[in-house]
Structure 1
Amino acid sequence: MSGNKDAWGSRIGLILAMAGNAVGMSNFLRFPVQAVQNGGGTFIIPYLVSFLVIGIPLLWIEWSMGRFGGALGHHSTPFIMDTMARNRLWKYIGVFGIWTNIAIAAYYCYLESWTVAYMVHSIKGSFLGLDQGEVAAFFDSYISLGTSTLGIPWEPFVFFILVLLLNTYVLSQGLQKGVERVAKIGIPLLILFGLFLAYQGATIDAGENGAIHSSIEGLNFLWTPDYSNMWSPSVWLAAAGQVFFTLSIGMGTVHCYASYVKAKDDIALSAMTSGWMNEFVEIVLGSFILIPISIAFLGMDRVQELIELGSLSLGFKTLPYLFMQWGDVIGILSSFLFFSLLFFAGITSSLAMGTPWIGFLKDEFKWKHSPAAWSFGIIIFVLGLPTIFLYKYGVFDEYDYWAGTVSLVVFALLECILFAWVFGMDKGWKEITRNAEIRVPPIYKYIIKYVTPVLLLIVFLGSVFTPKDNDWEGAISGTWILDDSSIISKLRNTGLKEKLANASDSETIAFVTDQLFYVNASRLLLMVVFIGFAFLVYIAYKKRQSEPINPPH
């Protein structure tokens, strides 16, 4: 019997914490960029379909698995999954639910620290008087550990330490006094700040403060349907991928949070509430800030160029400049609120990432809560250092690709198979509907069993065999050339090897050679960490076998 007695203080606290787990920085940075790149208004159709047939089913699966395992004294995925199947291998598949969170937190806390640094720089007025190029140069200098206006040596490292200490301290306070308290403060403030910025973004007139267009044109650009892309496989794969990003499914955090729900409590309505709260933040608030403001001041062509560089180019390299166009006071306030909003979105997610590891140590090795929380901080510190000091070599992106993208789909597919086909859909359906406060549509029994796993398999295979430039139509009808972003090409380092082969100067050759080394080393490090966690699960399993069986009360 686990000595893990942590619990949620209230249902609203649980829902806000679950919503905080789901609401992350991608709601405001990644979603609008994905929408623009994939057909504007038509993107919302495959996005909502993916939410209904992948997102909601996986939320119900993970909530019910968590509650089921929690009733048996398990608060992390290795032994939650172990209780649902006789095959001993499932507990090692459950390692994904610990490893993924640790690996993501290692770079996510660093990303989170950028928002704190930018909050400070906003208040200090560091962005006043800078043009867009100078703001972009500021970011490049910052992440390269260059000199900052604060005069702090290794400034990114210092802010990373501060953010990591804050995360670890909050986790050490437990669910009620730590995670739940932050969610009750952070999520309402996030929504309040988002509403203010959405109003500011939606009311820009052409010619006002130098705006080229009105914000309405930006919204039209974002949501005007392009039906020619409607049935493009790349659009549907992008939509399904965004659902993973935005709901934090396939990670193990939902299982862990739900494991502290009482056995008699509803999970069907709670899962829907937290899921739709996330959708409101993403679709409504996320749509009215980044793209409309950028297009209003920069024009559509320039925004298209920046989008090709990624969402971070708009968020950190561009928005501080755009906010300052509203005048010193409103500009500083808006910039501060935006990065505060991102911070609250970030910390409510990173706190969730620490809970599976803490639950595992408390359940299996009888650790006290505080030491378990601080061990999380130590691991993230060590694993996060390469993302800071080797950022320019792509280590940050490697962590994000393997842990924050590929792992989510793989684990979600396997847990769906476990729940619907191994544990059994009849038993699984009883878990979902037990004490449910809403009527779960019976069609979902078949969606979970057949539709969701098939779609997850398609998403995974699409990631493995991604064609050049995401041209699925051309690949299917002609020669299939793998894109550098495909899993196969990533493993082969195709893009880097081509860059090395085409390099003509010694400096570029040396840099790409170093990059190849650090990229491969980071993958090896992540693999070693996974094997280490699997070994701990093995030790815990052997320990359980040697102990007398005491049924949970």
Structure 2
Amino acid sequence: MPDNHNGRREQWGSRWGLILAMAGNAIGLGNFLRFPVQAAQNGGGAFMIPYFVSFILLGLPLMWIEWGVGRYGGSLGHGTSPAIFDALWKSRVAKYVGILGVFLPLVVLVYYIYVCSWTLAFSVFSALGSYPVVEAGSGAVSTASYLAPYRAYLNDYIGASSGGAFFTPLPIAYFFFIVTLVMGMAILGKGVAKGIEVLNKIAIPALFVMAAVLFIRVLSMNSPVDSNVTAATGLAFLWEPDMSGLLNPKVWLSAAGQVFFTLSLGMGAIITYASYVKHSDDIALAGLAAASFNEFAEVVFGSTIALVSAVIFFGPQGASVIAGDGAFSLGFISMPAIFTHIGYGGFYGFIWFLLLFFAGITSVVALAQPAIAFFEDELGWTRRRSVITLAIFFFIAAHLPMLVTGALDELDFWAATLGLVILALFEVIIFFWIFGAEKAWEEIACGGRIRIPRVFFYIMKYVTPLFLFVILVAWGYDQLPGVLSKSGVGVWLGRAFLLALLGAHIYAVKVAWKRRRNRRVTEDMQ
């Protein structure tokens, strides 16, 4: 395994590899499952107006800020936010605020690796043709009843059929979880250039090819029960705007939230990836290119494949029911039902779930890299030790969402909803208001192949933090009371796990800074 124990940090092997890796970090399951559901539930085509406004005022500015923060930290030998915040803000609390940049992605991965393993399993199930078959238009009185066998198939796989406080997943689910975990850790063990970069050079182009194949197939589909329902019907369902939604604040919050999720902002991964960029290298154009890859995957492919297929097969009303049930229903229940009724359905099902797996595994390695960078940069661990430690941690911790009902939702809210907005707000305040707006702007512009319009300086300094504050307050007001009122085994175990893991991070930071002080004393004595 590569080792930076001698003090020399790794770097990306090529600019193209960096862009694809950043795109792989952003492109995840949410592009193909969460985005179409959000669009369908929030005004269809009208949703794209607040979505692109949020992309300009929130997504691009935060993305460039995180690239700038990461590259600056990398020039000092640091790749995670505890040490970088400490360098930007000379305060005792800075390093503890920065803990979020390592803590949040670890929490997300506790359940994300398991969900990612579902996609690998279902790609195999598609190839083997093991789904139940319900004849189109024969005996199913509603979308819900038609999909019941496919819902039962997923519930049996994850062990949720009993509806109790605990899951009892099938052994095959456990097997695919282990395979996904080992695969992700093996890639991380190869290092940044030979592991993560190589993965993304293969996975991202392959993902776009598979998405294009499915895109073409969807546009050529016809309804099995109504010849008047075509791909045009599905596109109209998704894109015909309900302009009244623009007056609903929740639509704007949903759009802003989707931009957060889709660009992987506030998760610490972009900062860590950018820390392996040379200080003289471009981040302005590279960041824009990575974001563009992600937006193309989401808006063109993500919006079309799953939801338009559902409209064609189940009709607009049925698709609304599916979208209302959420992303898992769309991706793991309705899509298998569709694949069993189209020509070469096993092949298309295989590449659909393989596409999702590629999207997932590239995000897995991205979210794990901040912890590895912290171990290497701040604790002086070898990559081998870092990867093995993470593998053991994920193997143990993943049993919480795997076996306990409600734990996944609890972890997801605190880490992937509330936590990322808090971290992003601190990033903007520390970089633009404490470190200094002009210095931050110069850091972002250094080595740029394009000149970012000066208007973004004012957006980053004033508009983006205000936008983040509004989102934080609104989400806290709308969702926090409901989350805090929950109870049950999964909820309390999830909260106990979060507190224990946060405590471990605080302890690790204390050890790292004690190690740093001891090293300085030794150097002074020499």
Q: Is the counterpart of residue 306 in structure 1 residue 319 in structure 2?
A: no
1:20 and 1:545 map into 2 onto residues whose CA distance is 37
1:5 and 1:305 map into 2 onto residues whose CA distance is 50
Question: Aligned residue for 2:151?
Answer: 136
1:143 and 1:322 map into 2 onto residues whose CA distance is 21
Q: Which structure has the higher relative contact order (CA within 8 Å, separation 6+)?
A: 2
Question: Aligned residue for 1:324?
Answer: 340
Question: Aligned residue for 2:394?
Answer: 380
Question: Aligned residue for 2:260?
Answer: 244
State which of 505, 510, 521 in structure 2 corresponds to 1:538.
510
- After superposition, where does 1:157-196 map in structure 2 within 5 Å? 157-196=174-213
State which of 509, 525, 529 in structure 1 corresponds to 2:497.
525
Q: For 1:378-412, what per-residue CA distance to the aligned partner results, in whole angstroms no more than 9, with x for missing partners?
A: 1111111111111xx21111111111111111111
Question: Aligned residue for 1:225?
Answer: 241
Question: Match for 2:450: what amino acid?
Answer: I
Q: Residue 364 and residue 133 in structure 1: after superposition, are their counterparts in 2 closer, same or farther (change >3 A)?
A: same
2:356 and 2:445 map into 1 onto residues whose CA distance is 35
Question: Match for 2:518: what amino acid?
Answer: S
Question: Aligned residue for 1:507?
Answer: none
Q: CA deviation at 1:212?
A: 6.4
1:212 and 1:545 map into 2 onto residues whose CA distance is 73
Q: CA deviation at 1:311?
A: 1.1
Gapped runs of 5+ residues in structure 1? 467-485, 497-515
- After superposition, where does 1:247-396 map in structure 2 within 5 Å? 247-327=263-343, 330-390=344-404, 393-396=405-408
Question: Aligned residue for 2:251?
Answer: 235
Question: Aligned residue for 1:452?
Answer: 464
1:389 and 1:259 map into 2 onto residues whose CA distance is 36
Q: Is the counterpart of residue 57 in structure 1 residue 74 in structure 2?
A: no
Q: CA deviation at 1:206?
A: 4.3
Question: Aligned residue for 2:120?
Answer: 116
* Partners of 1:156 and 1:388 within 8 A in 2: no
* Partners of 1:75 and 1:359 within 8 A in 2: yes
* Partners of 1:146 and 1:154 within 8 A in 2: no
2:9 and 2:454 map into 1 onto residues whose CA distance is 35
Per mean C-alpha deviation after superposition, the further-off stretch among 227-236 and 31-40 is: 227-236
Question: Aligned residue for 2:143?
Answer: none
Q: Is the counterpart of residue 103 in structure 1 residue 102 in structure 2?
A: no
1:360 and 1:92 map into 2 onto residues whose CA distance is 13
Q: For 1:264-306, what per-residue CA distance to the aligned partner results, in whole angstroms no more than 9, with x for missing partners?
A: 1011111111011100000001121011100101011112112
Q: Is the counterpart of residue 155 in structure 1 residue 127 in structure 2?
A: no
* Partners of 2:132 and 2:150 within 8 A in 1: no
Q: For 1:122-151, what per-residue CA distance to the aligned partner results, in whole angstroms no more than 9, with x for missing partners?
A: 11111262463211110011110789xxxx
- After superposition, where does 1:68-83 map in structure 2 within 5 Å? 68-83=72-87
Q: Is the counterpart of residue 23 in structure 1 residue 27 in structure 2?
A: yes
Question: Match for 2:480: what amino acid?
Answer: I
Q: CA deviation at 1:488?
A: 2.4
State which of 433, 442, 450 in structure 1 corresponds to 2:445.
433
- After superposition, where does 1:443-522 map in structure 2 within 5 Å? 443-466=455-478, 486-493=479-486, 516-522=488-494
Q: For 1:314-367, what per-residue CA distance to the aligned partner results, in whole angstroms no more than 9, with x for missing partners?
A: 11011011022113xx20011000000000000000000111111111112211
* Partners of 2:104 and 2:415 within 8 A in 1: yes
Q: CA deviation at 1:201?
A: 1.0
Question: Match for 2:369: what amino acid?
Answer: T
1:38 and 1:432 map into 2 onto residues whose CA distance is 34
Question: Match for 1:338: what amino acid?
Answer: W
* Partners of 1:41 and 1:223 within 8 A in 2: yes
Secondary structure (helix, strand or coil) at the match of 2:221 reads coil
State which of 217, 221, 229 in structure 2 corresponds to 1:204.
221
Question: Aligned residue for 1:41?
Answer: 45
* Partners of 2:9 and 2:77 within 8 A in 1: no
1:138 and 1:153 map into 2 onto residues whose CA distance is 11
Secondary structure (helix, strand or coil) at the match of 2:398 reads helix
Question: Aligned residue for 1:399?
Answer: 411
Q: For 1:172-211, what per-residue CA distance to the aligned partner results, in whole angstroms no more than 9, with x for missing partners?
A: 010111111110000001000000111111122345x876
Instruction: Give the aligned CA root-mean-square deviation in angstroms.
Output: 1.8
Q: Residue 108 and residue 77 in structure 1: after superposition, are their counterparts in 2 closer, same or farther (change >3 A)?
A: same
Q: Residue 419 and residue 211 in structure 1: after superposition, are their counterparts in 2 closer, same or farther (change >3 A)?
A: farther
1:422 and 1:216 map into 2 onto residues whose CA distance is 51
TM-score of the two chains, using structure 2 as the length reference? 0.93
Q: CA deviation at 1:2?
A: 7.1
Question: Aligned residue for 1:501?
Answer: none
Q: For 1:417-473, what per-residue CA distance to the aligned partner results, in whole angstroms no more than 9, with x for missing partners?
A: 11111111011000011111101000011100100000000001111111xxxxxxx
1:2 and 1:434 map into 2 onto residues whose CA distance is 28
Q: CA deviation at 1:542?
A: 1.6
* Partners of 1:212 and 1:297 within 8 A in 2: no
Q: CA deviation at 1:489?
A: 2.4
Q: Is the counterpart of residue 442 in structure 1 residue 454 in structure 2?
A: yes
Secondary structure (helix, strand or coil) at the match of 1:299 reads helix
1:357 and 1:11 map into 2 onto residues whose CA distance is 24
Dislocated runs of 4+, deviation >4 Å: 209-212
Question: Aligned residue for 1:510?
Answer: none
Q: CA deviation at 1:154?
A: 2.0
Question: Aligned residue for 2:96?
Answer: 92
1:357 and 1:176 map into 2 onto residues whose CA distance is 17
Q: For 1:41-95, what per-residue CA distance to the aligned partner results, in whole angstroms no more than 9, with x for missing partners?
A: 0100100110111000111110000000000000111101111011121111111
* Identical pairs, percent: 40
TM-score of the two chains, using structure 1 as the length reference? 0.88
* Partners of 1:212 and 1:296 within 8 A in 2: no
Question: Aligned residue for 2:433?
Answer: 421
* Partners of 1:395 and 1:518 within 8 A in 2: yes
Q: CA deviation at 1:257?
A: 0.5
2:257 and 2:363 map into 1 onto residues whose CA distance is 18
Q: CA deviation at 1:100?
A: 0.8
Q: CA deviation at 1:166?
A: 0.6
Secondary structure (helix, strand or coil) at the match of 2:500 reads helix
